[in-house]
Structure 1
Amino acid sequence: MVGLEPHLIEILKRPMRVLSVSFPVRMDDGSVQVFEGYRSQHNDAMGPGKGGIRFHPQVTMDEVKALSMWMTIKCQVVGLPYGGAKGGVVCDPRTLSAGELERVSRGFIEAIAQIIGPDKDIPAPDVYTNAKIMGWMMDAYSKLQGSFAPASITGKPLSLGGSRGRDEATARGCVLTVLEAMKKRGQSVQEITAAIQGFGNAGRTAAKLLSGVGVRVVAVSDSTGALYNPNGLDVDALANLKDHGSFRNYGHSEHMSNQALLELPVDVLIPAALENVITAENAGRIQASIIAEAANGPITPDADTILFESGIQVIPDVLANAGGVTVSYFEWIQNLTHSYWTKEQVDAKLADILVPSYHEVNKIAQEHRTTMRMGAYMMALSRVAEAMKARGWV
């Protein structure tokens, strides 16, 4: 649909660089265990690599290669000066002590240090990694370089150069795109109803932000099930209950399954939990007019087609949850310039990027009469192809 030349497609089909490493770690009992890890750098035509590091027992090289391509697309959908990258260590962090986890984190960075850095590839948190782990990794890289290098890693604690607004960035970006979509439909926020599957960081924050601007959040869920009240739920009360046990004790609502939540008659549906929850089997029963993918990959390809043909607008994950990588970009800029922004500045700059990106993707999708996901891919890959040509690669 974009009309890319075959040789450009061949370049984009493969990561430019994949590193496989093995590194020893001293365990608490004195034994030495060898861990495997990977770092894939998909394409650096637009700038340094950017993407998370995950710790998971099922990490594979193929997985990080695919995710690095996804990051190239995500970065270019919102116009960041990055190519995509992704990394992972084969381990189960839930079985490691705090000391073992730190040694694994430092060992992996030491193993991949030659191909990362502020101007090469900037890692960030992903599955089962967090700000504390990023702090250890940044410290390990800094010691190898012989100087403090905060711009080498993003998603760090504030005390080590992390950015304000990072914790809620993914949800805030998702909500910004939802509100733009509703404006185009001529609906005021007070008329909008929303259901959110998942009450982790992204789902919970999205519920709070939507409720804060007047949207009626009528259903939320966690791993134990869903709550529904067509008149609206008290999001703050739910968050308080969740912090002290389970929001299943919340009254004034109907209990239902996570699956049933997806099929409620609402304006906006935000899947913010698992992959592949909307499939060809249930897509025909979805009643929302807009679906915003706060999670990665909640809609299968077959379901995507069914939703599009039903007139349901899907704001794809590469746009809807790009707030996280956007604020990681802001963190990198702040580290490089040693100039730090207020949360209000971060939020305003995030809107300056996400809102125009939504309209650009929507315009391409409408012009080509295709899904927003296809529009996002078309825009992203065209930008990378243009950069490769401008650099004289092809």
Structure 2
Amino acid sequence: MAFPERFSNLPEYAFPRLRKLLDAYAPGGPVVHMTIGEPRHPFPAWVGDVIADSLEGIGRYPANDGTPELQTAIAAWIARRYGVNVSADRQVLPLNGTREGLFNACFALCPETKGGKVPVVLMPNPFYQVYAVAALAVGAEPVYVAATAATGDLPDYASLPPEILERVSIAYLCSPANPQGAVADAGWWRDLIALAERYDFQIFADECYSELYRDTPPPGALEIAAQMGAHPERVVIFHSLSKRSNMPGLRSGFAAGGPESIARMKQLRNYAGAPLPLPLQAVATRAWSDEAHVEENRALYRAKYAIADDIFGDVPGYTPPQAGFFLWLPVADGEAAALTLWRETGVRVLPGAYLARAVDGVTPGADRLRVAMVAPEDEMRDGLTRLRSCLYGE
């Protein structure tokens, strides 16, 4: 039997790879899980009531494009958050989490060729793994662009040679960044959008960490594109309730962008999508309409930033995250450090190399650990204290 070759060179996914690295060894202390970015703060207390009040929706097929109420709530949130008015029914598409959208948008919007050549899809390196799989699935060439301390932990797409940029159809960018916690400021977005205008490619802005920040709300790609008067189809943004509202199990997010882009994504979803059940769409409608629980959540993360800064502030190379909930800690070798930490303390973290691809023999993040600050505060403090003592000394 023949199988496709398009995914044959994908590395093993990060978490099975981590299990192979660690699970042959007993933990060296009480286990603290700091690997997966799964929020563990309480979700809003009203979620159960909204589901109960909407339970009759289980007996009906959900609207493929989202209910009008959900579309309107999302459009209203975009207007409040970014000052951009979008059409609720023409420029918004509710999703089963952002991963669905980030993958399927490539199918809906990446052309088969560009200038008669294989199209290029740009992505930061390290990166969220769905970007690479989406590019390969549509027959595009993924180009991994280092996002390291030398580049401000964001990719320098403008440094690519013109022969690459002329083939670019899509550029993925996560801001706030996973795993580094860096934020693309307004100037950075303006430069990328100007580059996209010059070379005529789309920007897929993965902004699912946008509401977790220290002090200043990160600017959004759609916001800056509107200020610049960029092509209306230039940017597609992706957001989620997983991090913002502590509801990863709801599997609810959205894409928003130009009407032609969203129409094409909706058309594909008619054939291959899985809309959110109606009771969960009702929860999402309430969540996008409420900021009180988001402010409470953000306060919890600000306290965690302070704890991390206190524990690691004098560690050479430590960079306080600007946003999100990951620490990106410097070590000599990420795999070796993760294994030592597990065997000596029971703290479980992710080697940075597991989120990256080697380019010209160099793997960005090979000298880093990604540490998720999602556990309750006391548990997180304990885990970080043990990590500090084990890997950096008292």
Task: Please report the TM-score for the alignment, with normalisation by the length of structure 2.
Answer: 0.31
Structure number having the greater helix percentage: 1
Task: Please report the TM-score for the alignment, with normalisation by the length of structure 1.
Answer: 0.31
Higher RCO (CA 8 Å, separation ≥ 6 residues) = 2
